[in-house]
Amino acid sequence: MSELSHLDDQGRARMVDVSTKSDTHRIAVAAGELATTAEVIALVRADDMPKADVLATARIAGIGAAKRTWELIPLCHQLALSTVKVTFGFTDTTITIEAVAKTTGPTGVEMEALTAVAVAGLTLHDMVKAVDPAAVLNGVRLVSKEGGKRGRWFRADAPEQADTSIPEPTSIPEPPAARSAVVVVSSTGVAAGTRDDKTGPTIERWLTERGFSVRGPLIYADARISSGLADALTGSPALVITTGGTGASPTDGTPEATLAVLDRELPGVADSIRRHGLDVTPHAVLSRGVAGLAGTTVVVNLPGSPRGVKDGLAALDPILDHLLAQVSGGGAHE
């Protein structure tokens, strides 16, 4: 028993001493889902539940719980969390939950991410129980983690587990786990807090409306966009969309950072985005954005302007589902 880190040499529970460990950047992603009825899904999406602001309340509850994990789970350390994000997606009868926790320190944030998902899910149950008291919180699980001596880990069985625990939406050819997406904003001003993010939330809403479970927007200064992409690719999401850093300014490095992680380019996708922009402004031709595949993740660069994002999303809309189906091994080719 002494080999277990939470037991002392006499087999008694203890808090692990992490004082000799080095501080590293730690990230953990957890997920879960509330299985309910189609009626509840429609009411939540229309913000028409008897208890209003369902998602906002659950999001705040999850973030607050992550910050107090050390009080809830006896042997957890108190961590200085740098961020906690809780996001939601939908299938026909499921609200999916994803939490991302980050810190820089000597121990990981897995329990904080898992606690955020669990408490957000319980809050969802509380908010919908007047309509569906039989709702079930399922599959609270760690999806990926990064940092420390073990480096990066992600759940190899995520698609199989998602198939058994999440009802598959009839309109989407892949399993719900393949509908995960990450939004990355490249902007030194937004990262410094001197500018508002006017594009990341637009992309997040667009993806959520199409059934994706969205992480982000992740905000990175232009000079750190390579780190932003590495962060976004944690856990191998189906889709990563970046915004910003695609122009000709000396600090615009998103295309170069993206090309460094791509295994294959999809030049037609990037060209289509530029063509949509040219219908509005000749400046669209200056965008150097690229698109391609990093493993099984589709990565797409969009411009940093609200109009450029709108035009880029319009170009993606008719092809995205088919593209993701092809990447996952399906999709008609006729």
Rounded to a whole number of angstroms, the distance between the first and last alpha carbons of the chain is 60
Backbone angles phi, psi at 73, to 5 degrees: -115, 115
Q: Please check whether residue 99 is in contact with residue 120, taking contact to mean a CB–CB distance below 8 angstroms.
A: yes
Cis-peptide, bond into residue 217, ω within 30° of zero: yes
Asked if residues 213 and 98 have their Cβ atoms less than 8 Å apart, the reply is yes
Given the residues 53, 126, 252, 311, the one annotated as active site = 126
Active site residue 126: yes
Contact 166, 186 (CB under 8 A): no
Q: Are 137 and 111 in contact (CB under 8 A)?
A: no
Q: Using the CB atoms, write b or e for 290-304: b if 16+ within 10 Å.
A: bbbbbeebbbbbbbb
The position carrying tokens 């200064």 is 221
Secondary structure, 3-state, 204-231: HHHHHHCCCEEEEEEEECHHHHHHHHHH
Task: Using CB atoms within 10 Å of the CB of residue 181, give its burial: 0 to 12 exposed, 13 to 18 middle, 19+ buried.
Answer: buried
Q: Which residues are catalytic?
A: 126
